[in-house]
Structure 1
Amino acid sequence: MSVLSRFLSRMSLWFSAFGLVMMTAIIGWQVVARYLLANAPAWAEQAALFLMLWFILFAAAAGVREGFHIRLSILQDSLAEGRRQLMAIACHAIVGAFGIAMAYGGAQLVVETWEHTIPTLGLPRGLSYVPLAVAGVIIAFFAGEHILAERKGSKVEPLWS
């Protein structure tokens, strides 16, 4: 499971980095076209927003595995070892449940909005919500990996270790 998990995390991070670079290039082109050429492309803003949905959600999924997401651990750290492990498992279970709910809700949005078109891009609106479903599944998978590691008394090794 660790090999698959590390691969998914690495691909999510690479995909997110690529999306961020592409969004920056699109916004840069929009600024140049608007102020230097006096002809801003109509598609640029929608394309940037579309990409942002994708790369933010995949980066968030990787953040669950790698531990760089926002969390407060003061209560967990103040507990005795046995209770600390139970609290960690409960927290990962909540994150996993959130991932499952995100996947389910995202899949519903994809189905319900697929017939609508993003006017300036000509793409199905449902395509904007695909990352909700996919990232939700990945988040649940990563949370499950953390739960299994906690039960064994170990930790998930981040990519940079």
Structure 2
Amino acid sequence: MNMIRALLDRSLQVFCCILFVCMVGVASWQVITRYILNSPSTMSEALLRFLLIWLSMMAIAYVSGKRGHVSLTLLGDHLTGSIKKLLDISIEAIFIVFALSVFIYGGIQATANTMSQTYPMLQIPKAFIYVSLPVAGTIITIYCILNCISLYRNIAIKGVDEQ
């Protein structure tokens, strides 16, 4: 279980860093072409938007794996023991339902609906943007299952529970 979490963590870290470096490069190219060459790049803004969507979806998945997502802790802070554990596992179960219904099911529907549409500036199917939803949803679901197992076994989740 720890090996799966470590592999997912490392893969997402590397992927997000690569996306971010690509974004910096594309944004720099846009500035150079616009202000130095006086001939702005036509596709850099569209590519930045594409990369930002993918970076955001993968970062959301990574943060959910660390249980670093925004949450109201008013009730959880006053609970202890098995009731707190039940609340935490219930929150993870709600995340699983949300990821399965919105990210995966909705993402697959959006991807299928946009497969024949072309992103004009990049000349790629729009589905390449929307496929980030089911990918992120799958990763979130895996992380939530791992979190439930860790919570059930009283294993600290690295990143959040050690604070």
TM-score (normalised: structure 1) = 0.92
Q: Which runs of 4+ in 1 moved over 6 A?
A: none
Q: Deviations over 1:49-106 (max 9, x none)?
A: 1111111111111111123332332320111322111110111111111211211111
Q: Deviations over 1:111-135 (max 9, x none)?
A: 1101111111111100001111111
Q: Which residue of 2 aligns with 1:35?
A: 35
1:31-110 matches, cutoff 5 A = 31-101=31-101, 102-110=103-111
Deviation at 1:27, TM superposition (A): 1.1
TM-score (normalised: structure 2) = 0.91
Aligned equivalents of 2:9 and 2:74: distance in 1? 26
Q: Which residue of 1 aligns with 2:116?
A: 115
Deviation at 1:139, TM superposition (A): 0.2
Aligned equivalents of 1:68 and 1:25: distance in 2? 29
The aligned length equals 160
Aligned equivalents of 1:85 and 1:140: distance in 2? 19
Q: Give the aligned CA root-mean-square deviation in angstroms.
A: 1.7
Aligned equivalents of 1:42 and 1:94: distance in 2? 42
Q: Does 1:24 align with 2:24?
A: yes
Q: Which residue of 1 aligns with 2:155?
A: 154
> What SS does the corresponding residue of 1:6 show, helix, strand or coil?
helix
Aligned equivalents of 2:131 and 2:28: distance in 1? 26
For structure 1, the residue ranges without an aligned partner over 5 or more in a row are none
What fraction of aligned residue pairs are identical, expressed as a percent? 28
Deviation at 1:142, TM superposition (A): 0.5
